[in-house]
Every structure is written in C-alpha cells, then in structure tokens.
Chains A and B, each alone.
Chain A
C-alpha cells in the first residue's frame, strides 16, 4: 500500500448498493469461528473491529516511518510528524472543525472528557456553580464531574428521562440557570441507543452562555458529525469504537475555549520554553498533548476515517438503521423479551432482558453459539437503576453485520428461553 496522506474524497460512488459481503472481507477478524460456530460480532458499542486498510496503515508506519514526532530534523521524524498531523487534518474534516488545531488527540472519549474537567472545569467552575449531565450518561461522563463537584463544592444536576429512554427536554430547560457553568451530555446513549437532540440542547445552553460538552463516542462510528452546525463547544470520541486501534481518540474544542484553559498534563511537547522560574506553554494543539502520543493508533484513526469515506458514511448509516429496525422487530416478536430503550430516535444499540433469565446467563449461552454480546450494566448503572434491572444484554451493530446474523441471534435467544423454561 502506498503512503498517501492526501485527503481521500468524502463522496463515494453513489450508484452502488450496500454490499455487506464485500465489506465483511475488509475485516479479517470476522472470518473466524468461535466455539465451532461462525463468529457473530454484536459488541460494536464496546469496541468495533479494524479493517485491513487500517491494520496495514499501522504496520506501514511501524515498518517504515516510526520515530518520535515534532522533534527531530531527521527524515523519519519528519515522516512520522507528517503522518500524525495528516491524521489530525482528516479528523478536522471528519467532524467539520474550523481548524485542525481544535482537534486534540487523546486516548479515547474518557480522556477527552477528563481533559475538559481538568483544563476547563478546574479553572472556571467553583463553589455553588452547577454542572448539568443527563440520566443516561456513561460513567465516563458522570464520574469526572462528580470528582470536580466534590473538589470545588459545585453541584451536579441531572436531566431526567422517560421510560422509553428519552430525555425530558422541558426539565432540562428548567435546570438551566445563571449558576450553570457546563452541560455535559451524550450524543447517543451506549446503554439505550437513544439519539439526543443535542443541537437544540446546545442552543438552549448558549442562551445562558453555557458551554456544552458532547460525549460522541457512540455517534462517531454511525453518523455524520458537524461540530460547527451543532455549535458544540467540546466533542469527544474514541477511535476504537470507529474501526481504529485502541489508544486513539479526539477531543474537539473551540479554539477560543481551548486557549483559555489550563493544560491537561505537563511534560514534553506542550511547552514553548522551560526554565526553573517559568514555563510558557505551546500553542494548540500541542499545549494539550504532553508526552509522546499513541502515534501509530492516531495514524490508524486517520486511516479509519479514510475507510469510512471510501465506503460512504451516509450509506453505511442507512444500512445500519435498517438492520436495527429489523433486529428490533425480530426480538420484539419473541415472548419474554423486553427491549430496554425504545426512544423514537435510536442508533445501533439493542438492549434487552429476558424474563427470569439473568443477562450474564444470556451472554454465556449466546457466546457458546459464537455470538458476542455485552451483558452487564454497560458503565451506566444509573440507567439500570431507572429501569429497575441489574443489567441488560446488549446487541450493538455495525455496517458489517447482516440480517442473517440477526436471525441467528433471535434463534439463540429462543433457545435461551427454552433452556430456562
């Protein structure tokens, strides 16, 4: 594969229909058997699989381009820097940021949120201030804010949701006030699949001059993101949930905000000059990227974006919508199955319980059929508390899953019910 860092055009050939069998060939991991059965990978919301194009890009870097970035005047260091900054440029286009320097490379969405907590929260949020999150947040978008509230004496306010798993927007509007200093909310719920109306929510917050952080970990693999159209102040997502290696991820922030913030970590690469008396910090994005980053992984993220652009993000999203509709229909028809999360707007995630069967037993029995689902609280224990359940089983889809796989899942669920009846 040639080393191309130039941008691959976003528009795919429009005429072709979605050829899932051809797409599946791009993902070597999918061709294996598990417990003697063909692997059916339905745990994409936890981590997605990696296409050959991304694997080869990472290997190419490690074989021919590896060196530290932003430092050397030598050939390899320049090569590595070009590739790494090329990936940032791809991210910029992927989310339609104004400038590449607004895209900070982080370890994943969790680190992105923690960056905002340390850099923005600890500087600008104080005693008596309020932070608004929602009832369906992942622990990654709850715990950092609790830590900040504890440290500063600020208050955490929670937007409630209804039993379909939809946020009560009127209640949200009522929570906003002059003490609100930040809104942190998920674009798509990892436990329920709900797509939140974040554009409207951001607009409401801005009426109070409140910045909004979006946890986009579950949106990035499945939909189009336009941070300028959303007017998001911060937007965090993980590479490993969007077909790139672990250790890659992005925190987008408006330049004005990132510039006003404290650095996240201190160290190499984030400074202009250091003396024992005073250090001046580097400009964005380096100010927020201390130390040697996960260079190969972030270059892999750039390649994953190329891959998504080649296959067509809108086309993939359309296929996934139909797959979720079909899976919802199949599972709803099984007596004893309860779908958790029935919001009008949903993406990719199908959480469910089976009457009188614990989700961990479901998970083990499905695994014996070669089907990978997640069983547990999905790092969203408050969501489980809302629905008064200990856990759910969760099937989460990507564009390489098929209706046949959904059929096998439905049949296996019927077998689970049979075993436990």
Chain B
C-alpha cells in the first residue's frame, strides 16, 4: 500500500481513530455548520473567541478519515491563535490543498499540517480536507453555514 502513504499517513489514521477536541463546546460564542454536498460530510465547528483570540475550539460531525483527521488537526492548530493568524492558516491550508502553495518553496505557518499536502493528487478528496477549515473560517466571521460548493 506504499502508494497510499502520501494520503493515508499514520498521523491521519491516528487522528481519524482518536479525533482531538471532538465534542460540543459549551461556552462557544461562535459556531458554524459545514456541509459537503458531494459526499454528505457534515460537521459543526465551535469557537470561543475572546479579545480577538481563539481561546477554545472543538468540532462534531461525521465524515471520512481525511475530513475527520483534518478537523481534528485544525482544532489543534487554531487554538490560541489570533483571528488574523487563524485566517492566515486557513488561507495557506486551502492553497496547499488545491496545489497553489508549494509548502517546501514558499514560507508558511502550516507546520505538521503539511501532511495533508498529498490530497492535491486526489482532486475528489480536496474538499474533504478543507471542509473543517471553511467551517472554522465561517464561524470566525459569524457566518452560520459553510459549504465546499
């Protein structure tokens, strides 16, 4: 299965099995629902934003391994970031997943999120990886719904 290592890396499989921050956030002051009409993946992202900083973040929902692992790692990446920093990460992640950003050539803040760079070779799966990021972005901007379409 070596040809799959690009996409289904151990870290991704691990986050899929044991998603982090996978619960409702009781003290959330922002949230949004994300929906991928193509495959039916659905998730909800909760944020607790205070003084322009993402104090806490969590998610709920169902989806494939890529979307679940991406959501899990998104919550870890965004926690503690300022709104601007979170938006920068959203933009960089989105550009990496769609092949616009070469994470090795262009300076970025993605860190271990670069393990999702492999999705760019699987056009049908790009939206699985970006769904939680779109949803976080929507919640941050006080939009109720996000869609990959």
Verify A368–B3 contact, CB threshold 8 A.
yes
Q: Say whether A223 faces chain B, with CB atoms less than 8 Å apart.
A: no
Count how many pairs of residues, one from A and one from B, have CB atoms less than 8 Å apart in the complex. Answer: 47
Verify B40–A377 contact, CB threshold 8 A.
yes
Contacts of A364 in B (CB 8 A): 7, 122, 124-125
Verify A419–B64 contact, CB threshold 8 A.
no
Verify B1–A419 contact, CB threshold 8 A.
yes
**Which residue of chain A lies nearest to B7 when distances are taken between CB atoms in the complex?**
A364
With both chains docked as a complex, state the minimum distance between the C-beta of B1 and any C-beta of chain A, in angstroms. Answer: 6
Q: Knowing A364-B122, A376-B40 touch, does A419 contact B13 (C-beta < 8 A)?
A: yes
Q: Say whether A390 faces chain B, with CB atoms less than 8 Å apart.
A: yes
Task: Give chain B interface residues in 1-54, CB to chain A under 8 Å.
Answer: 1, 3-4, 7-8, 13, 16-17, 39-41
Verify A376–B39 contact, CB threshold 8 A.
yes
Once bound together, how far apart are the Cα atoms of A390 and B4, in whole Å?
Answer: 24
Contacts of A271 in B (CB 8 A): none
Contacts of B7 in A (CB 8 A): 364
Which of B1, B16, B41 has the most C-beta atoms of chain A within 10 angstroms of its own C-beta?
A: B1
Report the contact-size class of chain B (Cβ under 8 Å from the partner).
20 to 34
With both chains docked as a complex, state the minimum distance between the C-beta of B40 and any C-beta of chain A, in angstroms. Answer: 5
Which of A357, A377, A419 has the most C-beta atoms of chain B within 10 angstroms of its own C-beta?
A: A419
Contacts of B4 in A (CB 8 A): 365, 368, 419
Q: Knowing A376-B40, A420-B13 touch, does A357 contact B3 (C-beta < 8 A)?
A: no
Q: Say whether B115 faces chain A, with CB atoms less than 8 Å apart.
A: no
Contacts of A420 in B (CB 8 A): 13, 16-17, 65
Task: Give chain A interface residues in 298-325, CB to chain B under 8 Å.
Answer: none
With both chains docked as a complex, state the minimum distance between the C-beta of B119 and any C-beta of chain A, in angstroms. Answer: 10
With both chains docked as a complex, state the minimum distance between the C-beta of B77 and any C-beta of chain A, in angstroms. Answer: 22
**Which residue of chain B lies nearest to A381 when distances are taken between CB atoms in the complex?**
B40
Contacts of A384 in B (CB 8 A): 40
Once bound together, how far apart are the Cα atoms of A358 and B16, in whole Å?
Answer: 10
Q: Mark A373-388, 1 if CB is under 8 A from B, else 0.
A: 0011100010010000
Partner of B40, one of A36, A391, A419: A391
Verify B64–A360 contact, CB threshold 8 A.
yes
**Which residue of chain B lies nearest to A356 when distances are taken between CB atoms in the complex?**
B17
Q: Say whether B63 faces chain A, with CB atoms less than 8 Å apart.
A: yes
Contacts of A376 in B (CB 8 A): 39-40
Once bound together, how far apart are the Cα atoms of A35 and B4, in whole Å?
Answer: 11
Once bound together, how far apart are the Cα atoms of A381 and B7, in whole Å?
Answer: 28
Contacts of B74 in A (CB 8 A): none
Verify B3–A360 contact, CB threshold 8 A.
no
Partner of A365, one of B8, B39, B62: B8
Contacts of B39 in A (CB 8 A): 360, 375-376, 391
Verify A360–B128 contact, CB threshold 8 A.
yes
Verify B65–A357 contact, CB threshold 8 A.
yes
Q: Say whether B71 faces chain A, with CB atoms less than 8 Å apart.
A: no
Once bound together, how far apart are the Cα atoms of A358 and B39, in whole Å?
Answer: 11
Once bound together, how far apart are the Cα atoms of A201 and B1, in whole Å?
Answer: 48
Can you list 5 A-B contacts (CB < 8 A)?
A360-B128, A365-B8, A368-B3, A381-B40, A420-B17
Using a CB–CB cutoff of 8 Å, the interface residues on chain A facing chain B are 35-36, 356-361, 364-365, 368, 375-377, 381, 384, 390-391, 415, 419-420
Which 4 interchain pairs have the tightest Cβ spacing? A358-B64, A360-B64, A361-B65, A361-B64
